[in-house]
Amino acid sequence: MKNILDELAIKYNTDKSSKSHNYTKIYDKYLNSIREQKLNILEIGVLNGSSLNMWSEYFPNSQIYGLDINPDCKKYEKDNIKVIIGSQDDEEFLQKNIKPIKFDLIIDDGSHLSRHQIKSFINLFESLNSDSYYIIEDTCCSYWSSHEGGFKKENTAIEYFKDKVDDVNFFGFKGDLYDRKREYITSLKKDLTFFEKNINSIHFYNSVIIIEKV
């Protein structure tokens, strides 16, 4: 089956294509059905602007936001692309400038440091609309000493999201009583954490984690 996203990734020479990381094969499963919708999309990490151009053409009716610490990245703004300058490691900045925007898709392709990936997720997952996705790329870096990682090392992004699997699964399933988890959680105790209430599923792929919001 034709993968339009991969064709665009190759066209704009992003490392998400089948010629490199092959993330587009994964993303096509989740995003193809919504590509004509009017969405707000954020990618953390702009670099040379190639991914923003890919998303811009793939989601022609959407507003694409890029976040980067490099002021030179403002030059990649055009049409439906807006670049915001700031750090994904700056909680105050994220809370003030990014979190108020309601997103339908967030992709973290930033520093790849686990502490940055975790901090960004904690601060920005709430800004996702329901039934939307938060994607973290290059999670293989959780195992690399060059990125403060290691095999089953505490405080890496991989270990953090392993723990979040409990938030997805401890509810059980009510079947005939509840059609959706969203309805189920409203019947439970009120002291559930935000993530227990709002993570619908977590998908682990090679170097990619996709978190679906309730």
CATH of the domain at 66: 3.40.50.150
More confident residue, 190 or 22: 22
The percentage of the chain sitting over the pLDDT mark of 70, rounded to a whole number, equals 90
Least confident piece of the model among 8-22, 26-40, 82-96, 187-201: 187-201
* Rounded CA separation 85/207 (Å): 26
Q: Mean pLDDT, to the nearest integer, of 100-104? A: 97
Residue 170 in this model has a pLDDT that exceeds 70: no
Sign, CA torsion 173/176/180/182:
negative
Residue 154 in this model has a pLDDT that exceeds 80: yes
List the catalytic residue out of 21, 112, 116, 147. Answer: 112
| Mean pLDDT, rounded, of the chain | 91
CA distances from 145 to 98, 109, 120, 150 (A): 30, 19, 21, 6
* Rounded CA separation 137/208 (Å): 5
Q: 116-145, pLDDT tens digit by residue?
A: 999 999 999 999 999 999 999 999 999 989
Query: The domain containing residue 141 runs over which residues?
Result: 4-213
Catalytic, 147? Answer no
**How many structural domains does the chain have?**
1
pLDDT band at 2 (very low <50, low <70, confident <90, very high): confident
pTM of the model: 0.90
Residue 189 in this model has a pLDDT that exceeds 80: no
pLDDT of residue 193: 78
